[in-house]
Amino acid sequence: MQPLDASTHPFARLDPDAILNALQARGWQADGRLLALNSYENRVYQIWLDDGDIIVVKFYRPQRWSDEQILEEHRWSQMLAERGLPAVAPLVRDGQTLQHHEGWRFSVSPRRGGRAPELDDVPTLERIGLLLGRMHALGGRPLFRVRPTLDVRSMGIEPRDWLLEHAAIPPSLLPAWRAVADACLEAAQEHMLAHAQVRTVALHGDCHAGNILWTDAGPHFVDFDDARNGPAVQDLWMLLSGHPQEMQIQLEPLLRGYQRAFDFDAGELGLIEPLRTLRLLHYSAWIARRWDDPAFPQAFPWFGTERYWQDRILELREQLGAMAEPALQMP
């Protein structure tokens, strides 16, 4: 895919002066130092203040979330922090967590560093499981009202349709990709319907190792940007990796910790591979939709090539097989 003119993208005008001016307008006095952090969907910076404090500033991608949807995320992380869970919530300034300046929307959070958790360590998995159980116990009823719910339509059908409508797949591979994508969506929908009775909870939404930072005091959760309602297992399966036997071993301490705080429905284990399949389809569409953002061609130079889509076809075929296999088992 060919990138559009990078100068036309909204983030092109978010230069250091614009960042520091936005902060100053809302009462944060920076000393001029800033460091861009690893983020593609939004723009996130570590900023040093005159008083010696360090903050993290997130500038939200225009037209992705409404103000109401962003505020739902903020209330969720705030509630978790207030109840003693290690969630990094935005700071309040003049009664607001969502700040506005010259068309930009941004939030400011305290800096909380850390390293990725060691997911091959049993006590680490058990502790993360306990914290997720506590999180879901607090969000044990559908919490979000204006954010989309995690389902096959929003995470699979709509991304597939967008890719087709925008001719993102090379013509030579389109029939093969379309056939396997359609088959995967049909299988995922069958699984979701078979488990329609599964409880819906408020989720972190993107709970992988990169969004759990570990310190000597333990872990804390960051980046609730994808928070929404959905099945609890969505916040668990991205912490599992490897062959089914390896995932089964990792699952045991994770659920042991989880069930100390909240009940887990064994039926949700049948949703792991359908949810993985939806994430793969959504991921390809996410990159394609962001291609006019200059950060994306730079970060994903291989995207859109025939080799990329050949690999996606093989990946989806593997997912068809995985969805047909028996689910992981409760410990």
CA 39 remoteness from chain centre: 11
Q: Is 40 exposed, middle or buried (0-12, 13-18, 19+ CB in 10 A)?
A: middle
Q: How far apart are CA 136 and CA 143, in angstroms?
A: 11
* Residue 20 CB neighbour total at 10 angstroms: 20
Q: Regarding beta strands 218-221 and 212-215, do their DSSP bridges make them parallel or antiparallel, or are they unpaired? A: antiparallel
Q: One of 53, 94, 223, 292 is an active-site residue; which one? A: 223
Task: Give me the phi and psi of 77, to 5 degrees please.
Answer: -65, -35
The Cα 16–Cα 35 span in angstroms is 10
Catalytic residue check, 161 = no
- Tell me the three state secondary structure of residue 119: coil
255: nearest Cα among 141, 149, 146, 122: 122
Active site residue 235: no
DSSP secondary structure code for residue 155 in this structure: I
Q: Decide if 251 contacts 240 (C-beta within 8 A).
A: yes
The active-site residue out of 51, 120, 206, 235 is: 206
Provide the 10 A C-beta neighbour count for residue 38. Answer: 7
Q: Return d(Cα 58, Cα 42) in angstroms, integer.
A: 7
3-state secondary structure 21-62: HHHHHCCCCEEEEEEECCCCCCEEEEEEECCCCEEEEEECCC
The set of catalytic residues is 206, 223
